[in-house]
Amino acid sequence: MHAVLAAAQTLKAPDLDYFALAPEIVLTAVLVGILLLDVFVDETRKYLVTQVAGLGLLVSLVPVVALAANGADRSMLGGAYVVDNFALLVKALFLATGYVVLLMSSDYIGEGDYYEGEYSFLLLSSLLGMMVMGSSRDLITIFVALELLSIPAYLLAGWRKRDLRSNEACLKYYLLGVLASAVMLYGMSLIFGATGSTVLRTIGREVGGSVGEEPIVTLGIFFIVVGFAFKVSAVPFHFWAPDTYEGAPTPVTAFLSVASKAAGFVALLQLVYIGFFGREEVWGPLFWVLAALTMTVGNLVALRQTNVVRMLAYSSVAQAGYILVPFAVAGSNPAANATAQTAALVYLLIYAAMNLGAFAIVMAVARKTRSAEISSYGGLFTYAPGLTLLMSVFLFSLAGIPPLAGWFAKLYIFESALDAGTAAAVTLAVVAGLNAVIALFYYSAVAKEMWMRPVPDGDTTPIPVPPALAAALAFTAIVVVAVGVYPQAFARLGDLAQLTLR
């Protein structure tokens, strides 16, 4: 005991760069603030909590912008926590996504009497985990960030407590999420065993050297990639996604399909480009198979869906397949490596805007029809022309039709595959091209229903769109159209945020 106390005298607090941590600190303060606020405001004024939460998200964006203007890369805790352009870009993405989801959910949660204060609290906790994920360059940090973002998300999926479908969504998401993180942890323990370090940069150097030849490294990489394949719902680890997306409350579905998936890809980018870069012959083929299967299965199953949310769920599985393409081709040469990173990042940013927009429309329409069946979209144009037009914009952007943002995202994916230039990469580009054609069928089926078919029950009263939902729609629509018209600005962002093993 005395020895421990004596040793404690010599312990030094780690050097923390509080400016670099400012976005997370602000977000944590907001979290605690809204938890207290929720206790003290009475039942009729709970909307205040959501408003403070939204304001808090915008305030945490301020230090992110300040850090970006400052420009210096900041590293602390022995390289375990790094704030560079990549981290700032994904943090801004997560904060913007969180804000849009909050806008979408404020009316839904308020009207449904769904524990408003706790909802905002859990949403912001999950976002905090994602912010940490953007900066984590260490196995322990990645693991803690992953759990911090997942555990609140499990609870959010089951937010409608009395609804059996919501229960089922929550249970399936929880069980497969926990199994995935356990498998990923087993892989991390093997990588730690082979390299003797948890810091990604050290792991990257060891894996690139002679240690990388050991079979234990191959096994570790395999387990980690499989764990994250669950997280990003890649086929054959996707089967939780459609059920969870259908059963969960719609704003939560939007959050899971965009933010949670993006966080999985952010972790994969860091692991693959820093930690495992020396062993592309292991993860290259693995991602190739995942990408090809995910695109094809996602699109083929989406073809025969009759429920819009389920269709969007399979569409988001397919979209994850496109984002996996740059991973599959990244290892072949340095030029391909750079384009592949930009392609994956740019796709994540654009996918967030168009998918959130599509879910916002689904919520707006469900306010009137109380249904998510595709047939209930019949004749939408006759009584909600604005929503019809916006939905068409989002759907055709998801399909990749120029001049909308989704087209540019797909173009970048193809460019990364062609830059790699190997036979395998070109084959994958062809598979992706065929899939883009298949996807057009089911996206345009919804468009046809909206523009051409008669109204199923003849009820043509207009749909009232609450201001918060309208703001979410406007924001996502502007991003989708603006990026489609001026794509260079976005590509520049992606180029600035490159990860390299130095």
Partner 1 sequence: MYLNQFLLLAAFLFSVGVYGVLARKNGVLVLMSIELILNAVNINLVAFGAFHDTVAGQVFALFVIAVAAAEVGVGLAIVLLIYRNRHSIDLSEVDLMKG
Q: Per rule CB under 8 A, is residue 14 in the interface with partner 1? A: no
Minimum CB–partner distance for residue 167 and partner 1 (Å) = 6
Site for partner 1 in 175-194 (CB under 8 A): 175, 178-179, 181-183, 185-186, 188-190, 192-193
Task: Show Cβ contacts of residue 362 under 8 Å, excluding neighbours closer than 6 positions.
Answer: 250, 308, 309, 312, 372
Minimum CB–partner distance for residue 148 and partner 1 (Å) = 9
Q: Per rule CB under 8 A, is residue 60 in the interface with partner 1? A: no
Minimum CB–partner distance for residue 231 and partner 1 (Å) = 15
Identify which range of 141-149, 354-362, 441-449, 485-493 contacts partner 1 by CB under 8 A: 141-149
Identify which range of 125-133, 243-251, 405-413, 460-468 contacts partner 1 by CB under 8 A: 243-251
C-alpha 310/C-alpha 235 separation (Å) is: 16
- Closer by beta carbon to partner 1, 78 or else 386: 78
Q: Per rule CB under 8 A, is residue 298 in the interface with partner 1? A: no
Q: Per rule CB under 8 A, is residue 35 in the interface with partner 1? A: no
- Closer by beta carbon to partner 1, 168 or else 495: 168
Contact code string over 303-322 relative to partner 1, x by CB under 8 A: --x----x------------
Q: Per rule CB under 8 A, is residue 222 in the interface with partner 1? A: no
Q: Per rule CB under 8 A, is residue 451 in the interface with partner 1? A: no
Q: Which residue has the tokens 């079979």?
A: 215
C-alpha 93/C-alpha 88 separation (Å) is: 9
| Residue selected from 28, 51, 75, 167 as contacting partner 1 according to rule CB under 8 A | 167
C-alpha 372/C-alpha 258 separation (Å) is: 19
Nearest to 492 by CA among 287, 324, 345: 345
Identify which range of 62-70, 151-159, 334-342, 487-495 contacts partner 1 by CB under 8 A: 151-159
- Closer by beta carbon to partner 1, 190 or else 429: 190
Q: Which residue has the tokens 């670099």?
A: 20
Q: Per rule CB under 8 A, is residue 214 in the interface with partner 1? A: no
Maximum Cα–Cα distance for the chain, whole Å? 83
C-alpha 347/C-alpha 399 separation (Å) is: 13
Q: Per rule CB under 8 A, is residue 4 in the interface with partner 1? A: no
**Number of neighbours of residue 72 by Cβ within 10 angstroms:** 10
Q: Per rule CB under 8 A, is residue 154 in the interface with partner 1? A: yes
> For residue 465, what are its two tokens?
């769109």
| Residue selected from 71, 196, 236, 285 as contacting partner 1 according to rule CB under 8 A | 196
- Closer by beta carbon to partner 1, 99 or else 174: 174
Q: Per rule CB under 8 A, is residue 170 in the interface with partner 1? A: yes
109 Cα distance to chain centroid: 22
Q: Per rule CB under 8 A, is residue 198 in the interface with partner 1? A: yes
- Closer by beta carbon to partner 1, 229 or else 436: 229
Instruction: Kindly calculate the radius of gyration of the chain based on its CA atoms and give it in whole angstroms.
Output: 22
Minimum CB–partner distance for residue 4 and partner 1 (Å) = 14
280-303 vs 423-451: helix crossing angle, rounded to 10: 20
Q: Per rule CB under 8 A, is residue 379 in the interface with partner 1? A: no
Q: Per rule CB under 8 A, is residue 383 in the interface with partner 1? A: no
What is the sign, positive or negative, of the torsion defined by CA atoms of 151, 156, 161, 165? negative
Q: Per rule CB under 8 A, is residue 211 in the interface with partner 1? A: no
C-alpha 334/C-alpha 14 separation (Å) is: 36
Q: Vertex 161, ends 473 and 357: CA angle to 5°? A: 10
CA distances from 197 to 14, 78, 221, 417 (A): 18, 11, 15, 33
C-alpha 365/C-alpha 372 separation (Å) is: 8
Query: Torsion angle, CA of 442/448/453/459, rounded to 10 degrees?
Result: 80
Q: Per rule CB under 8 A, is residue 32 in the interface with partner 1? A: no
Q: Per rule CB under 8 A, is residue 156 in the interface with partner 1? A: no
Q: Which residue has the tokens 């191959």?
A: 218
Q: Which residue has the tokens 């700032």?
A: 88
Minimum CB–partner distance for residue 193 and partner 1 (Å) = 4
C-alpha 387/C-alpha 322 separation (Å) is: 27
| Residue selected from 45, 161, 448, 492 as contacting partner 1 according to rule CB under 8 A | 161
Contacts to partner 1 by CB under 8 A: 139-140, 143-144, 147, 151, 154-155, 158, 161-162, 164-165, 167-172, 174-175, 178-179, 181-183, 185-186, 188-190, 192-193, 196-198, 242-243, 246-247, 305, 310
